[in-house]
Amino acid sequence: MSPIERAVLIVDDSPEDIELYRRYLKQDREFRYTILTAELGREGLTLWQRHQLDIVLLDYQLPDLDGLEFLAALQTQSSQAHLPVIVVTGQGNEKIAVRSIKAGAQDYLVKGQITAESLQVAVNGTIETVQLSDRLQHRIERERVIAQITQKVYQSLNLDEILSIVVEEVRQFLRTDRVVVFQWESDGKGVVKAESVGSEWVSILSEQIDDPCFVESYIEKYRQGMVTARADVCDGNVDPCHVQLLTRYQVRANLVVPILHEDRFWGVSIAHHCAAPRQWQPLEIDLLQQLSTQVSVAIRQAELYRQAQYELAERKQAEEALRESEERLQLGIQVAGVALAKFDYASNRVELTPEAAALYGLPPDELIVARDRIHETFHPDERAALEQIIERALDPAGSGWFAHHHRVVWPNGEVRWLSVRKQVFFDRSNRNPRPNYAILAAIDITDQKQSEIQRDRILELKQAALAESERVNRIKDEFLAVLSHELRSPLNPILGWTKMLQTRKLSEAKVAEALATIERNAKAQCQLVDDLLDMARVLRGKMTLNAVPVNLLRAVESAIETVQTAATAKSISICPVLVDIGQVSGDAVRLQQIVWNLLSNAVKFTPHGGRIDIRLEQIERQAQITVTDTGEGINPNFLPHIFESFRQEDASVSRKHGGLGLGLAIVYQLVEAHGGTISARSLGEGQGATFTVRLPLSTEAPLRNSPIDPIDRKGNLVGIRVLIIDDEPDSLELAAEVLAQAGAEVRTTGVAAEFLSTLVSFRPDIAISDIGMPDVDGYTLLRMIRSLPPEKGGRVPAIALTAYAGEKNRQKAIAADFQKHVSKPIEPNQLVAEVIDLLNAEAKDRCQQGEFAKAMKH
């Protein structure tokens, strides 16, 4: 695979330092660096403006500007929210580091302590952090644009206003040169309905466009919903006649999304990039597609509005024509014009039109009813308030008019919304006026109300989704900060002690202390990586279990043994009360991981001299594991979130305990995968915590002890021949030295052809192969070995020793005919034990095959 291109700007007045950084970056084979240099800050700012740069290495002390002044100037002239800048200084001053980070820098390195590896790690981390932050910011901005335009669509009936907002918002979001909405006409032509364009480019608003190529080559595809994203219209993939039209409008790249309205092709939304070719991103395409859908909604609303206006005009014409008719009918049509009813207060009866009877859910032949019959249809939740409104309308001192939206309940239980307008007429022939009759007009607005309710619900859901997205992004930002800290922290003592060991000036005691520190921090970093891989499998739904009958007592005892050393170091007493309750069906390794994680957490959060109780017992048909500590306890506000991913109660820079906050989330997923439950409780901070796991007991018969004695893993490898291949010289040398010290005769190589020739001549007892190698990978090499006859080593037992870890990769290796899969990094004793296990397993197989052969003879 070819290296990834990167552009780096080094702003430093020291040629020696510039050359050092250049040499360190060139050692990274994954990337090909184009390096620009500047000795002055202002020269560096000019280069930033002229070039597309991935990262800047900035010397804090420059002849014309200091680092803070450079960062401030860069902030003003850069459109990026996050600056890919690493500040480098000869002073290891924490105050300078804090000021640099606050000013916008992503990282801080001290001259004299920089190595090729630390520089590469810092550069990679900074670029990845800025890219991730920019993508997150881009996604949030996209959701804001969509929400804003969606809200405007539902608030406005003015299609031209909505289209103008859409094109302007899209152009600003995409940072492109022109965005238009083009409406297709039935005669084969079209017109630009809305446009947002930069001042330096030609405007085509309201221009009628006749594009025969569009009709011949694209119109049918757009009717079917096709989206086209062209990075360069001049690359030969566009019809020449269409290229001519695009060239006339200065277009170099375009993104076209159809607007489909009621299953017909209405037009297209188009983004033009005129300055240069452009690669359109999936996020940008998705935004334009979603907004094209909103444009379709706006078109529908505008059509309904025009139709309503047309119907209203027709109604007014009808009212004018009927003005000479009876006053009561004339007023009824003027009020509503759909369903009419006359209320006679002298007889207390109501005369309905068939349409009015249908609105109130009454039979079509029941057109004269008692007034109470209408009131009985009112929705119970609104009846009292509605009757008060009616009583006020019957007061002669008022206007006698009211208009109201309310619900009615039909006899079959169906609820409908009515828009009602009513005018009461009074008999004022004497001193005490009284209601005479009333004209009521009503229309069914159920569909409109449901649309309003659905619209409001959609808006609420989108607002809730946006809030949740912001919450998740905040949690992820906190997690990334913790992750950066936790991954970098072990590197500091590892690199520091490594440098000290290279000086060869340490005493034997200090050498032992240094090696122990390096080992401890390497293991800590491995654990962090394992947690991340486990969480990644959970999030992708790839967590797999090798379910077999497992004696839970053994798993709990093994977990206790694992954490006993850490507990002893803090003078913490682990007090087990364990009952052999039988078996559960599950993955033995994962079950042990559940208990180990809970105990490790308890040790971490329990102070010196504390106590941890662990119980294993049977509750009904379930196994129950309870871990109780006398530690720091859990804040009640955080307790509901204790098992969530990427959550920590304290994610501040002053937190007392390390870790990524993934352990309990992984435990929760593993327990659920085993069909169990887990809960946590605590009386509060400083009062300890209790975690309870329940797992279903297995109904299978207990496991019987194997008649074969356990294999001794403490032997040596004297007389054993081992052939190793690995393209990494350091890993190859380490494996060879470990096995040689155990007594094995070892041959090594980094080339597949040499490995095969050595296999025939050396005749090893065990072959160990890396998987990820450049020319011939481990799987291909094993297929080549297995194609050889047995006398040439074709059946040699093989171990895959690889950095491709996890259950999925283990299964792939076994399926490829490796007998064992061992993940890097590995401890020396473990590698020797794995080799002995495989040799003993092979010997046992040969023994069983010999007994079978004897039985066949008899």
Whether 654 has a pLDDT exceeding 70, the answer reads no
Return the pLDDT at 540.
Answer: 55
H or E segment at 35? Answer: strand 31-38
Sheet strand arrangement including 107-110: 31-38, 4-11, 55-59, 85-89, 107-110
Return the pLDDT at 530.
Answer: 64
* Amino acid of residue 394: L
Return the pLDDT at 693.
Answer: 95
Structural domains present in the chain: 4-129 (3.40.50.2300), 156-305 (3.30.450.40), 327-444 (3.30.450.20), 544-696 (3.30.565.10), 721-857 (3.40.50.2300)
Helix (H, G, I), strand (E, B), or coil: what is residue 743? Answer: coil
- From residue 467, how far is each of 461, 478, 641, 651 by CA, in Å? 10, 17, 17, 20
Q: Which residues in 295-396 belong to E strands, given as ranges?
A: 339-344, 349-352, 368-370
276 C-beta neighbours (distance < 10 Å), count = 9
pLDDT > 70 in the chain, percent:
83
Return the pLDDT at 485.
Answer: 47
Return the pLDDT at 475.
Answer: 60
Whether 705 has a pLDDT exceeding 50, the answer reads no
604 vs 532, higher pLDDT: 604
Closest CA to 634 of 687, 585, 679, 571: 687
- Chain-wide mean pLDDT for the chain? 81
Q: Residue with structure tokens 């094209």?
A: 292
503 vs 727, higher pLDDT: 727
Which residue blocks in 490-606 are alpha helix, DSSP H? 491-502, 508-540, 552-569, 588-605
Summarised one tens digit per residue, pLDDT across range 71-93 is 888 888 776 667 899 999 887 67
Summarised one tens digit per residue, pLDDT across range 461-489 is 888 888 777 766 766 665 555 555 455 55
Q: How far apart are CA 330 and CA 353, in angstroms?
A: 15
Q: How far apart are CA 111 and CA 109, in angstroms?
A: 7
Return the pLDDT at 575.
Answer: 94
91: its two tokens:
């002073």
Return the pLDDT at 676.
Answer: 93
Query: Three-state secondary structure along 349-391?
Result: EEEECHHHHHHCCCCCCCCEEEHHHHHCCECCCCHHHHHHHHH
Q: How far apart are CA 555 and CA 592, in angstroms?
A: 5
Q: 652 and 611 in contact (C-beta within 8 Å)?
A: no
209: its two tokens:
């466009």
727: its two tokens:
């393209």
pLDDT > 90 in the chain, percent:
20
Residues paired with 423 in a beta bridge = 401, 439
What residues contact residue 854 under an 8 Å CB cut-off, 6+ apart?
Answer: none
Q: 583 and 550 in contact (C-beta within 8 Å)?
A: yes
169: its two tokens:
């918002």
Summarised one tens digit per residue, pLDDT across range 279-301 is 888 878 887 887 777 777 777 77
Return the pLDDT at 215.
Answer: 64
Give residue 220's pLDDT band: very low, low, confident or very high (50, 70, 90). Answer: confident
Residues paired with 424 in a beta bridge = 438
337 vs 639, higher pLDDT: 639
